[in-house]
Amino acid sequence: MKIIVYAISKNEEKFVDRWVASMKEADGIYVLDTGSTDHTVDKLKQLGVNVKVETIEPWRFDVARNKSLALIPEDVDFCVCTDLDEVFLPGWRKELEKHIQEGITRISYTYHWRLDENDKPLISFYISKIHSRKGYQWTHPVHEVLHYLGNGEEFTQCIDTITVHHYPNNQKSRSSYLPLLELSVQEDPEDDRNMHYLGREYMYYGYDKKAIQTLKKHLSLKRATWKDERCASMRFIARCYGRLQKWKLAYSWADKAIKEAPYLRDPFMEKAMLAYEQKDWNTIIDCSLKALQIPEGKKSYISEEFCRNVAIYDLLSIAFYQIGLYDFSYTAIQKALSFSPKDSRLQSNAKLIDKKRK
């Protein structure tokens, strides 16, 4: 089996050594550099990577991805698309060759999108950027998607023993994302995924009214059928109404999110976070306890960090403290500390709560 890694890069020199080391299990590595002004290109070439430099104007991620894919020879069996801030755990090629079934054209695998300081996954989901050489094309200017254009049916397989860790460069600007998302929605106004992403991006920028309008539009689309994503749009609408101080509407949309996906922790904790802003301690307790009845660990890009056990118990400890249930508060803060024992704020809160118990 011939396997090639491909990627795009721009000013990624600090990631090059680590990235190449994790990709060396492939038979070759190809990179399209889109205009680095640092030593990215030199470092890649020194490590044996095949590099082409080309400026993409106007910038689109799908165009860049397709040009990088085009660098790969035609006789390759599988292509592995990654970014330079990603690292495959060792043995990924062996796992691919061991588990892949005949006729498969695309592989999904585990992606740890956010990790803590000890490399413990905080947010994980499946991605599927390992694919056969022919029959695939990237589409959409941003949040690009790999589409199957081959003859016959696409056959996919999940190999969750292949794992990628993501170590993002948080200093890198996301300023191009919003205009590219607006362009993407303009090009395909019926695409539910990018309509959701656009609404979310408006929310991140604090454009609450635009976010609400766009997320409601997402919910109205025929293709918007995935309940997890619909729930997220409803949660974000609730969050925006909260920021606009329209609390009745905020609670109403949080309740809609809960009804849409009661199997997720996220909508319960979204309502709990709204309740925190309102100092509605009983609602916090009710929602948090319901969230804890739902198992943690569903792999989805939509998962929120405030749905982790440590965050829930932290919030519970505050709510119990505020209504004078100090023993319950102390039990909750101890549970939070069991997940994050070195957190100085939690340690300080535990001492304060313990004093109230005595």
Last residue of a domain, one of 140, 166, 192: 166
Last residue of a domain, one of 269, 285, 307: 307
Residues 123 and 153 in one domain: yes
Backbone angles phi, psi at 112, to 5 degrees: -90, 95
- Cα Rg, the chain, nearest whole Å: 23
> What's the rounded Cα separation, in Å, for the pair 41 and 345?
43
> What's the rounded Cα separation, in Å, for the pair 77 and 134?
9
Q: What is the pTM of this model?
A: 0.89
Inside any domain, residue 348: no
DSSP-assigned beta bridge partners for residue 156: 106
Residues 235 and 129 in one domain: no
Inside any domain, residue 341: no
Residues 149 and 209 in one domain: no
Residue whose C-alpha is closest to residue 334's, from 165, 320, 75, 322: 320
Question: What's CA 194's distance to the chain center, in Å?
Answer: 14
Inside any domain, residue 357: no
Residues 109 and 255 in one domain: no
Q: What pLDDT is attached to residue 117?
A: 83
Residues 18 and 158 in one domain: yes
Backbone angles phi, psi at 37, to 5 degrees: -110, 0
What are the pLDDT digits (tens) for 111-122?
Answer: 999 898 888 888
Residues 210 and 83 in one domain: no
Tokens read off for 19: 């990235």
What are the pLDDT digits (tens) for 175-219?
Answer: 788 999 999 999 999 999 999 999 999 999 999 999 999 999 999
Q: Quote the domain boundaries for residue 299.
A: 177-307
Backbone angles phi, psi at 321, to 5 degrees: -60, -45
- Beta strands 3-9; 78-81: pairing state: parallel
What are the pLDDT digits (tens) for 147-183?
Answer: 999 888 999 999 999 999 999 887 777 778 899 999 9
List the CATH number of the domain containing 86: 3.90.550.10
CB 215 within 8 A of CB 237: yes
> What's the rounded Cα separation, in Å, for the pair 285 and 304?
18
CB 3 within 8 A of CB 26: yes
Question: What is the total count of domains within the chain?
Answer: 2
> What's the rounded Cα separation, in Å, for the pair 165 and 90?
11
Residues 7 and 154 in one domain: yes
